Amino acid sequence: MSQGRFVVVIGTQWGDEGKGKIVDLLTERAAAVARFQGGHNAGHTLIVGGEKTVLSLIPSGVLRPQVACYIGNGVVLSLEALFTEADMLVARGVPVFDRLRIAPNCPLILPSHVALDRAREQARGAEAIGTTGRGIGPAYEDKVSRRALRVADLFQPARFATKLGEILEFHNFVLQHYFRLPPVDFQQILDAHLAAAERIRPLVVDVTLELQRLRARGANVMFEGAQGAMLDVDLGTYPFVTSSNTTAGYAGTGTGIGPCNFDYVLGIVKAYTTRVGAGPFPTEVHGELGDRIVDIGHEFGTVTGRRRRPGWLDLVMLRHAVRVNSLTDIALTKLDVLDDFDTIRVCVGYQLNGEELQGFPDDAETLAGVECVYVDIAGWKQSLRACRREADLPREVLVLLSLVEQHTKVPVSVVGVGPERDDVVLRGASS
């Protein structure tokens, strides 16, 4: 990045593509990282010098002392999760409070949102979405229905108490009379939030204005997506999605930055695919082969510990992600997980009732019914871990990279060859 750039980094699949690692890597040359959607349903893993840090809410630039960390208005904020994570980092010697800044218009996640999320999932039984149980969906519902309490409300105690009373009356009615569950306690929630208000007060700033100032002085800023494009509430595999817009366009809305201010959109793509929770998954691999991918890739949820469902790389889905995010670059991660495979499969087309589908199905039932057309690539059968330059990559890897580029028309600028910050090959990334 020679001059100031605003770069959006988003997941292109169903999350856990390695966004955190790539954001951490690229912030070496950035002044700030901003989160723009989701909440603490995210789990972003950074490994630096063998030390592992998992972040759910605080942007993945936090390990770099010069980097400011912003939580934009598009994020739904649990104060409890925020301070637990910040205190964990401070205890490990990472300064947080002088660099973390939060938008006043972030909606709050309340304990009743968590109770509603879990109650709803339980009631769905076999039809459950498989949410992270963090209250994300109910919190976004309240934002859209104009009932939400927002960070700025914390500083007006009387108004906060009134609005909290109103919203809890509604939540408790649903909990008690629809789900037959105990209510949440108004006073306890009020006291906890008013106490936290004093801690959060110095962190609350006009995030939009600060980002615009950074833009004006030519600074590099990364906009860190959470989840992945297929979990987008509008463009993903609805209803098996999260409750926010995870695609690149929301980087603007979720921080208050207009669309013309972004220079690059880097899509993070795992060299295979995983999904946590329910929903259609055309390239899913079952049985021993799937277990092998899960074992080698350590594919267990960072937030909930759930086993991630494994599958092959899906270029039909990726083409959809390219379109809906206007990707300018791709980072292909976790290639090293495939080191020992004899054959690596890549889905290049979908068929429905024997006919090739054009485009990506917009409903979950159709997607569940497609048959994949695969290209098989010979495995490289050697460790990629020490590769640092394009010339170090085996021929078979280059075949895979060109297949991805040919089908997406987007350059693969970054290749992930291990979990550590420096385990990458940079191929002349344009950003």
- In the complex, what is the shortest distance from the CB of residue 298 to ligand IMO, in angstroms, rounded to a whole number? 14
Cβ contact 8:220 at 8 Å? no
Among residues 10 and 400, whose Cβ is nearest to Mg ion?
Answer: 10
Query: Which among 16, 329, 336, 423 is annotated as catalytic?
Result: 16
Q: Distance of alpha carbon 276 from its chain centroid, rounded?
A: 12
- In the complex, what is the shortest distance from the CB of residue 276 to Mg ion, in angstroms, rounded to a whole number? 8
Is 37 one of the binding residues for ligand IMO (CB under 6 A)?
A: no
Among residues 20 and 361, whose Cβ is nearest to ligand IMO?
Answer: 20
Q: Distance of alpha carbon 262 from its chain centroid, rounded?
A: 19
Is 115 one of the binding residues for ligand IMO (CB under 6 A)?
A: no
Q: What is the DSSP string of 390-413?
A: GGGS-HHHHHHHHHHHHHH---EE
Active-site annotation holds for 171:
no
Is 43 one of the binding residues for Mg ion (CB under 5 A)?
A: yes
Q: Which of residues 121-150 bind ligand IMO (CB under 6 A)?
A: 129-132, 134, 136-137
Binding site residues, ligand GDP, CB under 6 A: 11, 15-21, 43-45, 47, 298, 302, 333-334, 336-337, 416-419, 423
- In the complex, what is the shortest distance from the CB of residue 224 to ligand IMO, in angstroms, rounded to a whole number? 9
- In the complex, what is the shortest distance from the CB of residue 423 to ligand GDP, in angstroms, rounded to a whole number? 6
Among residues 93 and 305, whose Cβ is nearest to ligand GDP?
Answer: 305
What are the tokens at 329? 């670059």
Residues 6+ apart with CB under 8 A from 268: 9, 10, 11, 12, 17, 18, 19, 22, 330, 331, 333
Query: Which among 40, 44, 193, 320 is annotated as catalytic?
Result: 44
Binding test (CB under 5 A) with Mg ion, winner from 6, 10, 14, 16: 16
Active-site annotation holds for 44:
yes
Closest by alpha carbon to 140, among 132, 150, 148?
148
Is 74 one of the binding residues for ligand IMO (CB under 6 A)?
A: no
Per DSSP, the three-state class of 54 is strand
Integer Cα distance of 427 and 363 in angstroms: 36
Cis peptide before 65 (omega within 30 of 0): no
Q: Residue 416 binds what, of Mg ion, ligand IMO, ligand GDP, none (CB under 5 to 8 Å, by partner type)? A: ligand GDP
- Helix (H) / strand (E) element for 208: namely helix 207-216
Catalytic machinery residues: 16, 44
